[in-house]
Structure 1
């Protein structure tokens, strides 16, 4: 059988080819080049201050930082995988200068050396991006996302349950002491209504007291049994409950696998059962889809994260933005008052903002905002023409200590009113509450949001910060941390943020 002439491109694995310089094989706008350039421009002192000196030679921190940041741009998060790719992945081989640290060295650098370095490194890269004109710091698009912790989903400890078990245990201890001593002397010295706190220290002291008593009465079986129960059962449980409550702090729960993680509801709910998972609330801000800052929080709600986030960002990254744009989850009197005091413009909707724009709300005759207020008499007039009189003030204090003043108004003529069923379900008649400080702050925010600039900024919010979350959660599959504990998780969020910014920078330069 005859074949037509077949021609192949010359193939010879033993032939030396040019270029010999591996960098020539890296595309000019590759993210590897951007990673190399940016980290090289960070002054050495930012790396060296985390090295005490002495001992044997170690890998250069710039090289280690480069391979880790680049690995995170390529969805390589495991130390073993990064170590393997250092022998086969061309850009990684170039960035490492053909050095091959093993996975233990990579993991040790990531979890130990980067603890102090990561925030500093992120800050220096932001400074360089600002100098290049790629990043603006004036508008600050803020939002939070929950990322699952590297922890067992079922090793949870709940504060309420622990408090309940602790209370039951204290009852048993008190009962045993009363049984042995007849009356608890310490309790007898307290005021009648004051409950004595039974701490592990008090249990230990009581055991010592009984052991001394047992030496004098060695045949006292009841006392011997009581000491055994105290030492083997009650004392270990008391110590455990004390430790668990200490770890919880002001949180409602924590994970035994990663005690810094709190159980939260995640958007990624594959079972569709609202299952709580251990995780962290990551607060991030962006501009033009570049990440400007990040902070980690152990509480699920965003409202109380705003002020700690801004304070931490100011301290860590020296970022003090002029305009804060965020969704209604951050709209509270405390947050508005803080931003007003700091002279930062809040473009943050409050809970009822959207509802107030609806026709049904504006035409509802039973809503306080549609009533007539007489400033001179300090009264509201309802839809039925009845007066609501001022009855007094009450104070409300948030968990963080912020105090609000609420004015209360009450109607005394609801009996027989035809609108009563639609107006109120209270047997005492219709009442309403007014928070004057909050109303004033809301009106300022509302006015700001209705300007052309406000509408444009708020419209940009979804495109800006929510796209960032989509990038690293969706495109780079970073939905779960690989390290445990708040300091190490902070390293990971710093690495993924650096990787995101350098990918964005590479894309802009390639455009």
Structure 2
């Protein structure tokens, strides 16, 4: 049996020296290079306003920005983890210039310095991407996603509960006051009208009033008991409910761990059964899979976030798109009208868009869609040729102050109509409602969507914005914020978006070089 000669590569750990350029050790297509180049191109003036000067010297803002952005592209979201990696992770060490800020410095930079800086940083990055021809600003694909808050999932405050408890407490307070004041004034409790609901201030005032009385009559046991009850039970509870309702504001709930977070249904786990978790609603606009703008909201529904979102990105990032493409959730009358006022073409379906196209609706003679409207008489003509006359008008106003007008029509000739049973179950006759403004907007939306341009846009929507969320949540595992409070999570989401754009730029560069 013959032995083959075995050879090993030379290996020694003596006299090892690093090459004079550490950068040469880092592969040319590593994200560290992209982060380094892009942050270097941002003028120092962007960072300076966020430093006061005086005191001890700070870490260089470009260095801190680079290590945080690079960490975010590598799925490192925690300050402690970034600090740990600064000891061992070569690209990170190179970006930091071998300085080692501890996790406190990293966290402080992220949550305090970045407060105003993040908006400027995001805007500067977009400006560079536009200048380099990666992004066009004209098309804008919007969608929302919910990101879980960094908060306990089981300690929440529901506004309805707080209101209910508050009412019960009010009743007890009323009763006690009626009882004590009636005894003192030796009248019958019956004569005292149920007082208006007491605020904690009024409860405190009443308690002080009673305490004065106690000094005059120290042996008054019922009074003594009442004062104790007020001070130790009713007053603190009253203050608690008032505080809870104040924190809720116009929301239905909040989390005790992060009071800015609202409970929302997240369709997270593999069973697809949404669970209520404290979360934020993140609205993002993209173009060519780059994030062009984002805004954070405390309400679960997407519909009413669109206009505030567009306002935010215009103000903060100077993004004014020509065309907005979004899901049917955004197709409200207010959204259509306001976009038209801003001269933005809306490629947005409305909730009944698909349904109106179905054979069932098109073939159903009793669907108002298939009736005739006679403008001069202001009547609808039903399948049997009878008139539905206008019986009234109602108005609806959204919380942002937009009013829509709905007209109501009713048929008074349903008696004995052969189609009655298939047409209506009402014993008063068939009714229908119509909103002329919304109707007109829906027509326009349908025309835009059915054009070739519209169909292409709508198809692109799925690959565009949906894949941005996919990459952030699936590929980079960012499903839950690390920080707490609206202001800090806004910073965090901004970092996620800048990191996403840098990764996208790197991917595009790779494609370009392969194509070349």
The interval holding the TM-score normalised by the smaller chain is over 0.9
Question: Hey, what does 1:499 align to over in structure 2?
Answer: 499
Alpha-carbon contact 2:394-2:407 (below 8 Å) kept: yes
Partner deviation per Cα, 1:270-293 (whole Å, 9 max, x = no partner): 565532110000000101100001
- Cα distance in 1 for residues equivalent to 2:382 and 2:205: 65
Alpha-carbon contact 2:267-2:275 (below 8 Å) kept: no
- Cα distance in 2 for residues equivalent to 1:180 and 1:194: 14
Please tell me whether residue 398 in structure 1 is matched to residue 398 in structure 2.
Answer: yes
- Cα distance in 1 for residues equivalent to 2:16 and 2:398: 73
What pairs up with 1:314-333 in 2 under 5 angstroms? 314-333=314-333
Partner deviation per Cα, 1:321-341 (whole Å, 9 max, x = no partner): 111100000010111111111
- Cα distance in 1 for residues equivalent to 2:494 and 2:86: 22
SS in 2 for 1:393: strand
Partner deviation per Cα, 1:427-460 (whole Å, 9 max, x = no partner): 2221111111111111111111111111111110
Question: Hey, what does 1:188 align to over in structure 2?
Answer: none
- Cα distance in 1 for residues equivalent to 2:72 and 2:302: 27
Seen in structure 2, the aligned counterparts of structure 1 residues 481 and 176 have a Cα distance that, compared at 3 Å, is: same
- Cα distance in 2 for residues equivalent to 1:288 and 1:193: 68
Residue 410 of structure 1 and its aligned partner are, at CA, apart by 0.6
Question: Hey, what does 2:38 align to over in structure 1?
Answer: 38
SS in 2 for 1:151: coil
Question: Hey, what does 2:486 align to over in structure 1?
Answer: 486
Question: Hey, what does 2:28 align to over in structure 1?
Answer: 28
Seen in structure 2, the aligned counterparts of structure 1 residues 138 and 184 have a Cα distance that, compared at 3 Å, is: farther
Residue 18 of structure 1 and its aligned partner are, at CA, apart by 6.1
Residue 425 of structure 1 and its aligned partner are, at CA, apart by 2.2
What pairs up with 1:187-198 in 2 under 5 angstroms? 196-198=196-198
Please tell me whether residue 223 in structure 1 is matched to residue 233 in structure 2.
Answer: no
Question: Hey, what does 1:302 align to over in structure 2?
Answer: 302
Seen in structure 2, the aligned counterparts of structure 1 residues 193 and 501 have a Cα distance that, compared at 3 Å, is: farther
- Cα distance in 2 for residues equivalent to 1:396 and 1:4: 89
- Cα distance in 2 for residues equivalent to 1:26 and 1:422: 74
Residue 507 of structure 1 and its aligned partner are, at CA, apart by 1.2
Alpha-carbon contact 1:177-1:184 (below 8 Å) kept: no
What pairs up with 1:347-362 in 2 under 5 angstroms? 347-362=347-362
- Cα distance in 1 for residues equivalent to 2:288 and 2:111: 30
Please tell me whether residue 208 in structure 1 is matched to residue 238 in structure 2.
Answer: no
- Cα distance in 2 for residues equivalent to 1:369 and 1:195: 54
SS in 2 for 1:182: helix
What pairs up with 1:101-120 in 2 under 5 angstroms? 101-120=101-120
- Cα distance in 2 for residues equivalent to 1:180 and 1:382: 68
Question: Hey, what does 1:73 align to over in structure 2?
Answer: 73
Alpha-carbon contact 1:406-1:434 (below 8 Å) kept: yes
SS in 1 for 2:116: helix
- Cα distance in 1 for residues equivalent to 2:232 and 2:110: 42
Tell me the TM-score normalised to structure 1 length: 0.96
Please tell me whether residue 97 in structure 1 is matched to residue 86 in structure 2.
Answer: no
Partner deviation per Cα, 1:367-425 (whole Å, 9 max, x = no partner): 11101211122111111222101112111112322111111111112223232222122
What pairs up with 1:166-181 in 2 under 5 angstroms? 166-181=166-181
Please tell me whether residue 462 in structure 1 is matched to residue 462 in structure 2.
Answer: yes
- Cα distance in 1 for residues equivalent to 2:480 and 2:99: 29
Question: Hey, what does 1:341 align to over in structure 2?
Answer: 341
Seen in structure 2, the aligned counterparts of structure 1 residues 268 and 183 have a Cα distance that, compared at 3 Å, is: farther
Q: Which runs of 5+ in 1 are unaligned?
A: 186-191
- Cα distance in 2 for residues equivalent to 1:253 and 1:300: 11
Question: Hey, what does 2:188 align to over in structure 1?
Answer: none
Q: Which runs of 5+ in 2 are unaligned?
A: 186-191, 512-516
Residue 195 of structure 1 and its aligned partner are, at CA, apart by 7.1
- Cα distance in 1 for residues equivalent to 2:194 and 2:407: 35
Question: Hey, what does 1:245 align to over in structure 2?
Answer: 245
SS in 2 for 1:49: helix
Residue 193 of structure 1 and its aligned partner are, at CA, apart by 11
Alpha-carbon contact 1:29-1:509 (below 8 Å) kept: no
- Cα distance in 2 for residues equivalent to 1:14 and 1:419: 97
- Cα distance in 2 for residues equivalent to 1:383 and 1:183: 73
- Cα distance in 1 for residues equivalent to 2:211 and 2:330: 58
Alpha-carbon contact 2:135-2:290 (below 8 Å) kept: yes
- Cα distance in 2 for residues equivalent to 1:110 and 1:459: 37
Residue 183 of structure 1 and its aligned partner are, at CA, apart by 9.7
Return 424-433 or 248-257, whichever deviates more. Answer: 424-433
Question: Hey, what does 1:449 align to over in structure 2?
Answer: 449
- Cα distance in 2 for residues equivalent to 1:399 and 1:65: 39
Partner deviation per Cα, 1:228-256 (whole Å, 9 max, x = no partner): 11111111111111111111111110000
- Cα distance in 2 for residues equivalent to 1:109 and 1:7: 52
> How many equivalent residue pairs?
505
- Cα distance in 1 for residues equivalent to 2:153 and 2:420: 49
Please tell me whether residue 287 in structure 1 is matched to residue 310 in structure 2.
Answer: no
Alpha-carbon contact 1:177-1:183 (below 8 Å) kept: no
Alpha-carbon contact 2:285-2:292 (below 8 Å) kept: yes
Question: Hey, what does 1:160 align to over in structure 2?
Answer: 160
Residue 194 of structure 1 and its aligned partner are, at CA, apart by 10
Seen in structure 2, the aligned counterparts of structure 1 residues 250 and 384 have a Cα distance that, compared at 3 Å, is: same
What pairs up with 1:424-443 in 2 under 5 angstroms? 424-443=424-443
Residue 14 of structure 1 and its aligned partner are, at CA, apart by 1.6
Question: Hey, what does 1:414 align to over in structure 2?
Answer: 414
- Cα distance in 1 for residues equivalent to 2:478 and 2:408: 49
Alpha-carbon contact 1:147-1:481 (below 8 Å) kept: yes
- Cα distance in 1 for residues equivalent to 2:193 and 2:73: 62
- Cα distance in 2 for residues equivalent to 1:414 and 1:362: 23
